[in-house]
Structure 1
């Protein structure tokens, strides 16, 4: 019996103290290679078009002087998060993106690499970001503190935004599902319709949050150039 509502997110499949739930993150690595041996289907063509659109958008955000390969990192991050968001919507599959363990591992190295690259190669440019243009001299020390704090919390906001959005929808689905046995037949029909609508919303959230994570990472990268 579930003693805590958040226990639905706990890793529960363990062998020799190793949590096998996290293997759900790598299911895509098993499935995707087989697609190269099949003729391109409508789904492949649709996915390729999505990647081309993302490539054009990320190139615009990064600037025209960047090479094509620079968008590969952000497209890969988008694909990984999108796959894990969707795989978590299936019953009895562990949602890895609802844990800060995964989202921080994605956000923190990205932000840290951007900061190290920026401060080593574009030191003056990084200092200029700490004081916005047109700031009165008397406010400059305060703006440096504010900009420094806002810069340092970026990996946390990236990770928490993704985790919180994935947890919120799953908790609503769990709460609605737990009320089912105590409802009448008519209310169960309404409950099922509500869960179907919430599931559609969760699919939209899965796409939007992966897109937001990738776009914000791209914007943080463009600031160091």
Structure 2
């Protein structure tokens, strides 16, 4: 019996007080040997094409001498998209729907960007606080607004990802719980709508991973 609707997102499975649901975050490591030791397949070629496309796009945003940073953001995208898709499977814990997971990704990364930017590119960081062409009277207000928007960036990244993953799962759960009280015709319609929602959630899983990685790349590009 669930205490509330949001209890479907709580990590409750445990052995010796060790939560097992969070282990789903590391299940993607089991697939890494497959890409290195198996013969090329359509799925592996598709994945390498996605990685190459992301690398070229991130390289445009960060500059030609940013190979190490593009690897970091591609890894971030891979981790998030893997956890988002795992959450669509039955009885698999969706770690990306928790702020603990999303904040653990966004906050340290944003903090590292700020430390690197303010210590190595101080003038550029001050320049970002006042947009070009701002009247002198509005400059103090723009500094306050830009400072606040900069501070809330890790929170917006984390909340955007977690909220989008929770919303789809809640909708699927709400519709699924009405199944026992419907007629056969309505159940068929419900199954069809659940399949459409599952396809939509698959698209959301990819889009939100891409948005998280691209916004992180844009934040990193501002410190140069």
Quick one: distance in 2 between partners of 1:126 and 1:111?
Answer: 14
Which residues in structure 2 correspond to 1:99-138 (within 5 Å)? 99-138=98-137
**Cross-structure match for 2:18:** 18
Please report how far the alpha carbon of residue 20 of structure 1 lies from its aligned counterpart in structure 2 after TM superposition. Answer: 1.0
Please report how far the alpha carbon of residue 15 of structure 1 lies from its aligned counterpart in structure 2 after TM superposition. Answer: 1.9
- Higher mean C-alpha deviation, range 14-23 or range 89-98: 14-23
Which residues in structure 2 correspond to 1:55-94 (within 5 Å)? 55-64=55-64, 66-94=65-93
**Cross-structure match for 2:40:** 40
**Cross-structure match for 1:168:** 167
Quick one: distance in 1 between partners of 2:10 and 2:165?
Answer: 14
Quick one: distance in 2 between partners of 1:180 and 1:199?
Answer: 16
**Cross-structure match for 2:149:** 150
**Cross-structure match for 1:204:** 203
Quick one: distance in 2 between partners of 1:131 and 1:85?
Answer: 37
Indicate the RMSD between aligned Cα atoms, in angstroms: 0.8
TM-score where L is the length of structure 1: 0.98
Please report how far the alpha carbon of residue 35 of structure 1 lies from its aligned counterpart in structure 2 after TM superposition. Answer: 3.2
Q: 2:177 aligned with 1:178, yes or no?
A: yes
Render the CA deviation track for 1:15-55: whole Å, top value 9, x for unaligned: 22221100000001122223322111111111101100000
Quick one: distance in 1 between partners of 2:119 and 2:68?
Answer: 22
Please report how far the alpha carbon of residue 2 of structure 1 lies from its aligned counterpart in structure 2 after TM superposition. Answer: 1.6
Quick one: distance in 1 between partners of 2:31 and 2:121?
Answer: 41
Render the CA deviation track for 1:179-211: whole Å, top value 9, x for unaligned: 000000000000000000000000000000000
Render the CA deviation track for 1:64-120: whole Å, top value 9, x for unaligned: 3x2322200000000000000000100000000000000000000110000000000
Quick one: distance in 2 between partners of 1:50 and 1:27?
Answer: 20
Quick one: distance in 1 between partners of 2:185 and 2:157?
Answer: 42
Give the SS at the match of 1:69: helix
- 5+ long unaligned stretches in structure 1: none
Quick one: distance in 1 between partners of 2:175 and 2:66?
Answer: 48
Quick one: distance in 2 between partners of 1:36 and 1:130?
Answer: 45
**Cross-structure match for 1:27:** 27
* Matched length: 224
